[in-house]
Amino acid sequence: MEENFLLLRDRVLDALEVTEKEALFHQLKKISGPTIFAGAGGSRVVAEFAKLVLEKKNSLLGISLSLRDIHYLELKNYQNLFIVSYKGENQGVKEARKLSLTRYLFTSKREEEGYETLSYQRKIKEEKSFISLATTLIPISLLLDYYQSNILPSFLKEEDISYPYSITSFEIFTGIDTMVAATFLESTIVEAGLGTVILHDKYDYCHGRSTYGKKSCCIYLLQERKDLDNTLLQVLEQNKRKIILLSSSSKDSVIGQYQLLLKSMFLTREIARREGKDLSDVKYDFKIVPTVYHFEGEM
């Protein structure tokens, strides 16, 4: 785990250097019209960020879904399917070939049958980790570079995030403006066995969700501070809730979500350290995980 965090910046900068960015960005620029963005696990985090970037950069209408959800959607309302998959080999990618949409696959592979492949490369040794760090941050960083070039090096730094609590129950306060970080936190905390997670939409919290209890840690994600944020934070503090506040320093929503994602990654490292766990070597259920991961069939 420690090595993978130490190499995170180098792996991202390496991919930015060796990827054929001109070709990749040319392909991204062509995508227009209503688009479905989909991925599973760490790839869902990338899909959320891709939706954000292409909505702003390409002026398209996007929706983010799980790979399974696609098969229950009225597809006639959409033109494109943008799937994120590191290796492009899972059943969701295979099943989506049957769908009558223009299909894009954002992946580390060169080509994938049935898709227009949007590929990226890397030269530094591949990350060996149960939890995706560089595997998630590399494609997201390329998308950020497509959105606004030459700004990445200043953001790629270790975030000094502390976690002083011995708590393994988490409530994440989010909304569409912080969904990239929220998706990463929920996925990572659950997959690594760091604790249980509840996602709260900030406004929905006004409608009785505070009933859950006082024994959890509140991870509050903040992009642009609004009156609702002031009210919620005040109420949580007055009721002696444990709070970790992660905020961005940018008024740009894309850059801000990138900053929040980085902070979220380093927060999960601190939680793992506190619990004596290794994000790269998770003791998962060896009976369940391989069976479900290698599932083949209708979804």
CA distances 121 to 118, 135, 139, 154, 157, Å, are 11, 11, 10, 22, 22
Q: pLDDT band at residue 148, thresholds of 50, 70 and 90?
A: very high
Q: Is the Cα dihedral 140, 141, 143, 144 positive or negative?
A: positive
Query: Which residue matches tokens 């995170």?
Result: 8
Determine what percent of the chain is predicted with pLDDT higher than 70: 99
pLDDT score, position 213: 66
Mean pLDDT of the chain: 91
Q: Confidence band (pLDDT; 50, 70, 90) for 177?
A: very high
* pLDDT tens, residue by residue, 189-204: 999 999 999 999 999 9
Residue 129 near residue 24 (C-beta atoms within 8 A): no
Looking up tokens 């505070």 gives 210
Report how far Cα 88 is from the mean position of its chain's Cα atoms.
17
Enter the pTM of the model. 0.93
Query: Tens digits of per-residue pLDDT, 27-37?
Result: 999 999 999 99
User: What would the pLDDT profile of 136-146 be if each residue is shown by its tens digit?
Assistant: 999 999 999 99
| Structural domains of the chain in order of their starting residue, each with its CATH number | 2-153 (3.40.50.10490), 169-275 (3.40.50.10490)
> For residue 152, is it left (φ>0), alpha (ψ between -120 and 50) or beta?
alpha
